[in-house]
Amino acid sequence: MFDYQTHFDSFCRENRLDLRLSFEMPPGYETAYGTFDAETETVYLNAVLLHDAPDHEQAFYFFHELRHAAQELCPARFSEAIRRSLRYVIQYDGVCYKRIGGEYAECRLDGGAERFTDLYLGQPHETDANAFAYAQTRALFGDSEELRKLYAFWTPQQPVPDEAYDAVFAEIDEKTKAQEL
């Protein structure tokens, strides 16, 4: 089994972060492989979903969430595109969120999975987290067809241009404007 604690401690030391690690998902995230909660500074990994997963898969999701922790808690280390995208959540079904203060305002945009799948996968903070996870996992376990497939699964089929995010973020801004008041 993948040694989460050793890599967690190392990451925290190297990045000067004081994080917590939990294998019990918060309510509403039971179907996710993991998540990061900036408010509690906790990295959550889904022990149920990852229990029988191969080590490279456990490591991939683990490093992905650690990268999100660094993005959220050390934003100056990341590009403006990543910092901007962290304020937004785009889901596959068109349900989107914008962080306003410490809360998330919800809205729904028109279009289905065909519109939103690549938008979700291509968000700058997601592509950065996936690239980091792939590189860290490859360094530990070597490159393999299984790891490349996992990385490809979380990569958009087509690159998403910055202009597409400008437009979607503007839509989200417009739909959540009343909630900012």
Question: Secondary structure of the chain: what % helix, strand, coil (to 5)?
Answer: 55, 15, 30
DSSP string, 82-121: HHHHTTEEE-TTSEEEEEETTEEEEEE-S--HHHHHHHHH
Structural domain boundaries in the chain: 4-180
Q: Is 76 helix (H, G, I), strand (E, B) or coil?
A: helix
Give the β-pairing of 34-37 and 42-45.
Answer: antiparallel
pTM score: 0.93
Q: What is the pLDDT of residue 154?
A: 96
The pLDDT tens digits of the residues spanning 12-69 come to: 999 999 999 999 999 989 999 999 999 999 999 999 999 999 999 999 999 999 999 9
- Residue 73's pLDDT band, with cuts at 50, 70 and 90, is very high
